[in-house]
Amino acid sequence: MAERPEDLNLPNAVITRIIKEALPDGVNISKEARSAISRAASVFVLYATSCANNFATKGKRKTLNAGDVLSAMEEMEFQRFVAPLKESLEVYRREQKGKKEARKDKDKKADSEEQDKSREEDNDDDDERMEEEEPNDEEEVDN
Amino acid sequence: MKWNMSRCLAPARSGGGGAVLGAGSAAGPGRECSEAPPSPARPRGPAQAQRSGGMAAAAAVPGPGPAEAAAPGEEAAAAGQQGPGPARLARLPLARVKALVKADPDVTLASQEAVFVLARATELFVETIAKDAYMYAQQGKRKTLQRKDLDNAIEAIDEFAFLEGTLD
């Protein structure tokens, strides 16, 4: 392979933000350290994928599922990640369900929503005022 | 048990139940967490104390917050650092994570959920390694994280052994 998989880096901005939020205020990070962490994150994904794939293969499956990833975390001695990951997964699943239902509802309300949007675009600067001045309109539209 | 992070994150359940991007409740779960045991092996005190309110910066003033949280003890503060964490959705773009997953020739397919969990896990990993590297920076009385701090952390911590030789 000409390109190493580790070269597939994750976006620097996001990595930097995660690092900064994890550290106390006033702490900086050098460019070299940041890019090293970014590369480490990529390696982490690759390693975790490989571990997860082992579990999938054991289960005679060809598709990695969330459970395989969680098992991989335990295998990699990151058990402390498992609980928070499970919670995030629950939230994610709920969101996905919510999105599906929202899509159905959105089709019904599509017309009224378009009217709302055009009004919002006109009053872009006066978002707050719009809500105050035109409460009646919004109520009518929701009907 | 070297880390108390899982204990820190678990109690957030009690406060932030269904909160996805619960910026409003960010401060709450963080301070409620009193279940986290002190971390005997790893001194995580003052640095973490400042951070307890950090995640709530968007919603609440972190100033008075950490001061109060620091008083009851470093455990609470260390735990509070991840208040809204577990309920948050992934910040890393799933498409990029998926690209990395596909880079493995042995992998055929990965479910969307799997990619999501990987993305979240990677975020937790980044936070973890950043904090550990920072401890070394603190030892060197520096406020800037440098590459050598990272190298030290990787050498010292077992879980990071898989990174050895990969970052050069």
ipTM field: 0.72
Instruction: Kindly determine whether residue A45 and residue B101, on different chains, have CB atoms separated by under 8 Å.
Output: yes
Is the CB of residue B123 less than 8 Å from the CB of residue B46?
A: no
Compute the distance between CA of residue B112 and CA of residue B132 in angstroms, rounded to an integer.
30
Three-point CA angle A1, B120, B20, nearest 5°: 150
Compute the distance between CA of residue B16 and CA of residue A143 in angstroms, rounded to an integer.
33
* Nearest CB to B86; choose among A27, A50, A88: A88
> Which residues in chain A are contacts of B82 at CB distance < 8 A?
84
Give residue A7's pLDDT: 62
Give residue A122's pLDDT: 54
> Which residues in chain A are contacts of B144 at CB distance < 8 A?
27-30
Q: What is the pLDDT of residues A44-79, one digit of tens each?
A: 999 999 999 999 999 999 999 999 999 999 999 999
Query: Beta-carbon neighbour count of residue B147 at 10 Å?
Result: 18
Q: Are β-strands B109-110 and A63-64 bridged in parallel, bridged antiparallel, or unpaired?
A: parallel
10 Å CB burial of residue A18 (0-12, 13-18, 19+) is: buried
> Which residues in chain B are contacts of A36 at CB distance < 8 A?
147, 150, 167
Instruction: Kindly determine whether residue B122 and residue A10, on different chains, have CB atoms separated by under 8 Å.
Output: yes
Compute the distance between CA of residue B152 and CA of residue B136 in angstroms, rounded to an integer.
7
* Nearest CB to A26; choose among B13, B133, B143: B143
3-class DSSP state of A135: helix
Compute the distance between CA of residue B87 and CA of residue A43 in angstroms, rounded to an integer.
25
Instruction: Kindly determine whether residue B86 and residue A83, on different chains, have CB atoms separated by under 8 Å.
Output: yes
> Which residues in chain B are contacts of A44 at CB distance < 8 A?
121-122, 125, 162-163
Q: Is the pLDDT of residue B98 over 50?
A: yes
Q: What is the pLDDT of residues B123-166, one digit of tens each?
A: 999 999 999 999 999 999 999 999 999 999 999 999 999 999 99
Residue A11 has φ and ψ, to the nearest 5°, of -55, 130
Instruction: Kindly determine whether residue B149 and residue A22, on different chains, have CB atoms separated by under 8 Å.
Output: no
Compute the distance between CA of residue B118 and CA of residue A88 in angstroms, rounded to an integer.
11
Choose from A49, A55, A58, A85 for mutation: most chain B CBs within 10 A: A49
Instruction: Kindly determine whether residue B146 and residue A32, on different chains, have CB atoms separated by under 8 Å.
Output: yes
